[in-house]
Amino acid sequence: MSALVLEWSVIIAQTALSLAMVCAGFRILRGPRAQDRILGLDTLYVNAMLILVTFGIRTGSTFYFGAALIIGLLSFVATVALAKFLMRGEVIE
Amino acid sequence: MIDADALPAWAALSVAFFVVFGAGLTLIGSVGLLRLATFYQRMHAPTLGTSLGSAGILIGSIIFFSFQGTRPVVHEILLMIFVTVTTPVSFILLMKATRSRPTTKQPEQPD
């Protein structure tokens, strides 16, 4: 019984996170200016990280955690690099 | 599919609650990113997902893997600290970049 509840709740969580990724993708496609697209990209990164953690719960394997950690790291680096590019016109000066 | 035999019922139910809670808050944040009007309003919506949403899902993951194994698993705290520290830094940089850009496009001046 509790296993069934757990499985369905993880499925519901994955559906909600997929819808959240679709919303962030729409903002990337539609964003009026460049900073809206960067914000959507950062949100997409965080949602992908969380959906990998829920995949780890669903399969019971610990390998998804490393992938989630790397996605979180890349999210920070990508957003900072793009914001620096918007501010100065170049990333490394 | 989920190997939940090792979990007591209250642990499974609390994992279910935390995971659905976090995912719902992340969805609310992303819908806010899609629907709010201006950029500065849109900027604070996804932070709901990066603070409370990730905390909920990662606490659920901690409870699940702690009861799967024999010892407490706290790797997810690393991810939680990392997301909590880096999101304000990157958003402050993005906001400074936005403030340094002109708000409307200037019409092209003929030479």
Answer yes or no: is B2 within a domain: no
Q: Is the ipTM of this complex over 0.95?
A: no
Query: Is A43 close to B29, i.e. CB distance below 8 A?
Result: yes
Structurally, chain B folds into a number of domains equal to 1
Answer yes or no: is B41 within a domain: yes
* pLDDT of chain A, 93 residues: tens digit per residue: 788 888 899 999 999 999 999 999 999 998 788 889 999 999 999 999 999 999 998 888 888 888 999 998 999 999 999 988 888 877 776
Tens digit of pLDDT for each residue in B59-68?
999 988 888 8
Q: What is the pTM of this model?
A: 0.87
Interface membership of B75 toward A (CB under 8 Å): yes
Interface membership of A10 toward B (CB under 8 Å): yes
Answer yes or no: is B73 within a domain: yes
Tens digit of pLDDT for each residue in B82-107?
898 999 999 999 888 888 877 665 55
* Ramachandran assignment for B110, one of left (phi > 0), alpha (psi -120 to 50 degrees), beta (any other): beta
From the list A50, A60, A76, the residue facing B68 with the nearest CB is A60
What does the CA dihedral B41, B45, B50, B51 come to, rounded to 10 degrees?
Answer: 90
Spatial distance between the Cα atoms of A72 and A78, rounded to a whole number of angstroms: 10
Spatial distance between the Cα atoms of B35 and B38, rounded to a whole number of angstroms: 9
> What token pair was written down for B95?
């906001």
Please provide the average confidence, as pLDDT, over all residues in chain B: 85
Tens digit of pLDDT for each residue in B10-41?
888 899 999 999 999 999 999 999 888 888 88
Inform me whether the pLDDT recorded for B1 exceeds 60.
no
Interface membership of B53 toward A (CB under 8 Å): yes
**Residues B52, A50 contacting (CB under 8 angstroms):** no
What is the domain extent for residue B88?
A: 9-98
* Ramachandran assignment for B2, one of left (phi > 0), alpha (psi -120 to 50 degrees), beta (any other): beta
* Ramachandran assignment for B108, one of left (phi > 0), alpha (psi -120 to 50 degrees), beta (any other): beta
